[in-house]
Amino acid sequence: MKKPLLVWLLGNLVSIAVFAQVEREPPTLEDEPLIKLKSNRLYGKLVDSRTQKGVDAASVQVYALRKDSLITGMLTKANGDFSFRNLPAADSVRLVISAIGFTSKDQLVSLLPAGTKNNGDQPLEKDMGNIVLQPDAQALETVTVTARKPALEMGIDRKIFHAENSLTAAGGTATDLLKNIPSVNVDVNGNVQLRNNTPQLFVDGRPTILTLDQIPADDIDRVELITNPSAKYDASGGGGIINVVLKKNRRAGFNGIATIGGGSPKVGNGNLSLNIRQEKFNLFGSANYNQSGGRPRGKTLRENKKGGITDNYFNQYSTGDLMRHNRSFRFGMDYFLDNRNTLSASQNITGGNSSRAEEQQQEYLNSSRVLQRSGKRTSDADSRYKRYSTQVDFTHKFPQPGKELTANFNYNWGNGTNNYSILNSYFLPDNTPVDKPARVVNYGDDNSQQMTFKVDFENPISEHAKLETGMRSFINRQHSILSAYSVNNGAQTKLPLSNNYKYTQLINAFYVTYSNKWKGIGYQAGLRAEHSRFDGTLVDSAKKFGYEYPGKLNQFFDAVFPSLFLTKQAGEHTELQINYTRRIGRPDFWELNPFIDISDPVNLRQGNPLLRPEFINSFEFNINQRTNKGNLLAIFYLHNNPRDITRFSDTISAAQYQQLNNAAIDPNAILNTYINAQTTNRFGAEFILQHKAGKNFDLTPSVTMQYRKVQTGADKLSISNKGLNWGAKLVTSYKIVTRHPTLFNNFSVQFFGEYQSRQVIPQGYQSARFNADLALRKEFMKNRKAAVTFSINDLFNTNRFGTIYDTPAFYQDGYSRRNVRNFRLNFTYKFGKSDFYLFKKREPKTEEES
């Protein structure tokens, strides 16, 4: 396995060297000896054509002629003045001017007086006088209407959600942010689903070992949703791709944002983000602390059956107290070697801990609902983690517009501990103890490593034709140790559910896509080939399991993933697209791990090491209709899933109960695991409207519908289910803007509401649920530098997740909720200085010396 990987990496390095030499450019002024003149100077003033006043903070840049490399640049002063001194020896330069709300200028400037030649003895000086800037009507309209990025940008192939517009997530985590996005659902455990399927979760376009609760919302710039990715993207994940893009400011000078907040229950957060941009360097960093408390609640009502007749009843009521602490520190640098080459590096350090105390009250009743005995279960859990992520990126832009070579390396590693103690006590109806209390303690450790290396090359062949190709290698190593003991009179006995489990996953990929236009129809055809291997080991028993695709010649098509996109502009404001992709869903760590989780004695969880990857054939038809006040996106899709990875539940067998007897579990406990279904089909439609109802009132309603049919079999038991589910979300934002300063000027209100109907699963359905959030924000100080945000999550205290199982052996209705209604108050302050210099500037100078 090592030799092919080494050859592949060497091939990548050779590719980089070859591409970097393509179209070698002529030498620049920087390649030749320069004569530094005593006072070579260029200066002038930018003036607004409407008011004849100076234009403040406009960008003025000076470029060399023989290569469009930047010599120097500056922002104009408040009166519109700019000045450059000690420029390199050259008769002419190129001057580029841009300012928000004005048309850009790009012109050649001769530093020599007319009819003269430069003999190198005299300094050159050029007064540009007043340069008049004309207003850009389109840009001005955009600034006036939106004044900020739209909350949601909808394209025909992806949706982009800008985090700064989500007031309800301020001071929270990525979990709070993602639940606001159309088509995305977040369950009680923080797991994300896109169209009721598990997507690939990326951070800055790379795999991550972080969970959503470990990513602060204040660090997120935007979230990108790609529901049906082309062959260019990783083929893993039946639910598409969710890419969380972290903030990285590149504004000139020194800039920062500070946030501090608190709330109930036990909510607290603080964030500081800084960047310094000077000449060829951009330095950025952020530090974040986030804590939150919770009061988990749950209820389970079960009817156990024998031969289709009720045998007994079981009820369980749970209450708890949850506390989470997360800390993160991120820093990095962009180094602009020249206008065409950029090197970036960043480091992310994350750590935290959580604790959970829970009490469960249990009732055991006979078939006549008469109490036979009761139980009390208390548990205390503590977990800690550390995560590290290193990223290095290189970008080379060729002289031809759009032609680009990128190389990326990402390394994630981390470790954690998870310890908990459980005490079970049982009583007769008169409160007489049935037996001595049973205690179980668990000690868990985990280690993880991920490495990703990829190279991408884009080559525009003509106006419409483009070729893209690339390679990617991903290595994932996990090791988990759990030691479980029963405790009796202070003595510990190791239980069979202890495990020592490790695996290595390797995926190597190559892709090529070609796009062009034919008779008004744009098309993109792509093909991706992936070789994947999974090697798992139960260390104590030396049992091995895993898979390799393709492992045999007849499995070749299991490793090939084609894609086809057809796009048609149907009128000025309507765009149509039909696409097809084939993808693969590989089981994750918890779906494979054979460890039995006994934290809930009547609802056990266990992975299945015999799982195999699932495959997804995905078809979509998209209609994007733009209007004067927004746009409407309609999507119709079909997902065909052979070998769908499906959750399966059944009561534990007598042998399993005997194995776990010392762990104090219930003899009628349900074991939840995963199996490969025969097939699952999903037919669905989505309608998302983005509408501006007035100058400052935004409406984004969305409706999703899906018909699901699943058929599976386990232990000769055939199970099938089908049904329609639907959901709706509404995000409304209103901002008050007055001509004269008032208390309500720059005051914003945002409401988020969500409803999900019941959804079918193989053995029952998930219950319907409703949730609503509300947030208020007041911006103040000059240029709205400061803001106070107050938010309420779960406004009506209704957000809970329920599941109903209906099988021949039992009927169970239960729900759980991770938290109750919470409140947050945040203060944010923006600061900066555009002419700040970390290092003393020497030459060329950008302002006159007195």
Structure tokens at 39: 């006072």
Secondary structure (3-state) at 94: strand
The secondary structure element, H or E, covering residue 146 is helix 137-146
Residue 263, pLDDT > 90, answer yes
Can you tell me the distance from the alpha carbon of 430 to that of 453, in angstroms, rounded to the nearest whole number?
Answer: 65
pLDDT(330) > 90: yes
What integer pLDDT is reported at residue 599 of this predicted model? 66
Q: What are phi and psi of 800, to 5 degrees?
A: -145, 155
Q: Is 839 helix (H, G, I), strand (E, B) or coil?
A: coil
Give the count of beta carbons closer than 10 Å to the beta carbon of residue 659: 15
| pTM metric for this prediction | 0.75
User: What pLDDT does 670 receive?
Assistant: 82
- Residue owning tokens 């994300």: 192
> What pLDDT score does 777 carry?
93
Closest CA to 60 of 110, 124, 131: 131
Nearest Cα neighbor of 812 from 310, 296, 189, 188 is 310
| Distance from C-alpha of 602 to C-alpha of 314, rounded to nearest angstrom | 9
Chain Cα centroid distance, residue 683: 25
**Does residue 665 or residue 356 have the better pLDDT?**
356
Does the pLDDT at position 86 exceed 80?
A: no
* Separation of alpha carbons 60 and 83, rounded Å: 9
Structure confidence by residue, pLDDT tens digits, 645-690:
888 888 787 777 776 665 667 777 888 888 888 888 899 999 999 8
Q: Coil, helix or strand for 139?
A: helix
- CA angle, corner 366, sides to 362 and 371, nearest 5? 50
Residue 48 corresponds to which tokens in the numbers above? 């607004």
- Give the per-residue pLDDT at 146: 32
Quote the pLDDT of residue 813.
94
CA dihedral 36, 40, 42, 43 (to 10 degrees): 130
Q: Which two tokens stand for residue 539?
A: 């260390």
Nearest 5°: the CA angle 152, 155, 161 is: 25
Q: How far is CA 201 from CA 46, 189, 454, 579, in A?
A: 47, 15, 17, 22
Single out the residue of 568, 483, 480 nearest to residue 523, CA to CA.
Answer: 568
β-partners of residue 412 are 389, 450
Q: 6: pLDDT confidence band, cut at 50, 70 and 90?
A: very low
User: Is the pLDDT assigned to residue 7 strictly greater than 50?
Assistant: no
pLDDT tens-digit series, residues 188-201: 667 788 887 778 88
With 70 as the cut, is the pLDDT of residue 618 above it? yes
Confidence at residue 214, expressed as pLDDT on a 0 to 100 scale? 82
CB 242 within 8 A of CB 194: yes
Stretch 337-353: mean pLDDT, rounded? 90
Q: In whole angstroms, what is the distance from residue 2 CA to residue 8 CA? A: 10
Average pLDDT estimate for 57-61? 82
Range in 260-269, 318-327, 551-560 the model is least confident about: 551-560
Residue 325 pLDDT grade (very low, low, confident, very high; cuts 50, 70, 90)? very high
Does residue 323 register a pLDDT over 60? yes
Predicted confidence at residue 320, as pLDDT, reads: 92
pLDDT higher than 80, residue 461: yes
Q: Give the model's pLDDT for residue 807.
A: 87
What size, in residues, is the chain? Answer: 850
Rg, C-alpha atoms of the chain = 31
